Amino acid sequence: MTDRARGRAGHRASGRAARRIRVALAAVAGIAGAVALTGCGDPDVFVDGTPRTPEETIRVVPHNGAHGVRADGRFEIRVPEGRLERVEVSRTGDAGRRSVAGRISPDGMVWRPAPGRLHLGAKYTVDAVALDGAGRRSARRTTFTTSAPMRHFTGYFSPQRDATVGTGLIFSMVFNRPIADRAAVERAVRVGAEPHVEIAAHWFGHRRLDFRPRDRWRPGTKITVQLRLRGVKAGPGTYGTQRRTVRYRVGRDQVSSIDAARHTMTVRRGGRVVAVLPVTAGDAENPTYNGRMVILERASVVRMDGDTVGFGGEYDIADVPHAMRLTRSGTFLHGNYWAPPEVFGGVNTSHGCVGLKDIKGGGPHTPAGWFFGQSIVGDTVVVRNSPERMVAPDNGLGGWNMPWAQWRAGSALDRSGARPAS
């Protein structure tokens, strides 16, 4: 801009000078996303003969071009006078380009993002338009990049996708790294239900976090799990990556009670007996665990190798049919085609599993085939009258064997959601 144009502020600029001013301001507007600037040909872009730069009018923290910005650091846009007219912030990262929610304060002088941390390893772009105290408009674009985490932590759970589950399901996450700040991680995992029931968290060590209600779920309940772990700091240099919502629907109520002494399994639906099946449980040397267990997964056929669970080469069966896992340590409820018929309902012969009569290849009309077809992940199986101890609460989904008060005491938060007092 020439001295001549500057000296004639307050008067009508010459056609050539006015055109230059309009071009300059149009460029600023283009940077802000083609904002319509009214009166942009006026020469009143100066204050006492000194131009107001966009940097003076609109101040952004972190500064333009900043790298390695902390995810929990300060982020705001403000004006020393006047008001913010419009702010648009976008984030570019592993999920593509996304808008960032935020709001301008009632006095119009500050914009801040919605509560929560910034995303890790993402580039942020700020486009802001503001009016200064004299009503002059400026536009500014800045960018900054957040730091990438040194290490990630991820929680694994099942079922992964939306599914219909049994009334005994406990939502359980196992993390790939030890969690130092368990309160921060627990706070970022929200488990809710419709209709509402009280749900509590319980930590088993530093890698596993489970959620359940006081009693088994009511049929028809809708369970929603919100994972807001992306950017959550679990320890020095360790941050979460997951952000997703998982939903389950609770199906009919099925509880199957195994009497190891009588060698029977009674199947109840909604409290009504629908079948009594003969079984064979663990023998005297390898009795089946007592207590409440939950079906973790189902497979039409699996290989069972005793070497993988500490029994050496005592057995290796490549085609065990209708297998339903009850514990992480290797307890299954499964079809058995190799034992003679008189075993079922008569004697316990297994290495700790519970066997139902079946045929090689698995038959849909055998006791094992029928029960497999009637069962889903999350169904409850109760074992009684076995000489073995109670199944541990962290072996599979054995948390139903823990009293409610003890379960709630395993949370890293107090009832208000704050860190527990030391």
Catalytic residues: 334, 353
Burial (CB count <10 Å: 0-12, 13-18, 19+), residue 422: exposed
Helix residue ranges per DSSP H, 159-273:
182-187
Question: Both ends of the chain: CA-CA distance in Å?
Answer: 66
CB 189 within 8 A of CB 157: no
Q: What is the number of other CB atoms lying within 10 angstroms of the CB of residue 51?
A: 10
Which candidate, 162, 215, 208, places its Cα nearest to that of 328? Answer: 208
Cα dihedral sign for 389, 395, 401, 405?
positive
Element (H, E) at 320: strand 316-325
Q: Which residues pair with 265 in a beta bridge?
A: 258, 277
Residue (of 121, 190, 123) closest to 152 by Cα position = 121
Spatial separation of the C-alpha atoms in residues 131 and 124, rounded to whole Å: 23
Give every CB contact of residue 110 below 8 A, 6+ residues apart in sequence: 76, 77, 78, 84, 104
Cα 217–chain centre separation = 20
Is residue 289 within 8 A of residue 375, CB to CB? The reply is: no
Residue 221 CA to residue 249 CA, distance in Å, equals 6
Q: Is 36 helix (H, G, I), strand (E, B) or coil?
A: coil
Q: Rounded to whole angstroms, how far apart are CA atoms 154 and 234?
A: 11
Environment class of residue 80 by beta-carbon count within 10 Å: exposed (0-12), middle (13-18) or buried (19+)?
exposed
Collect all residues with Cβ–Cβ distance below 8 Å to 34 and sequence separation of at least 6.
none
- CA 57, 63, 65, 70: dihedral to nearest 10 degrees? -150
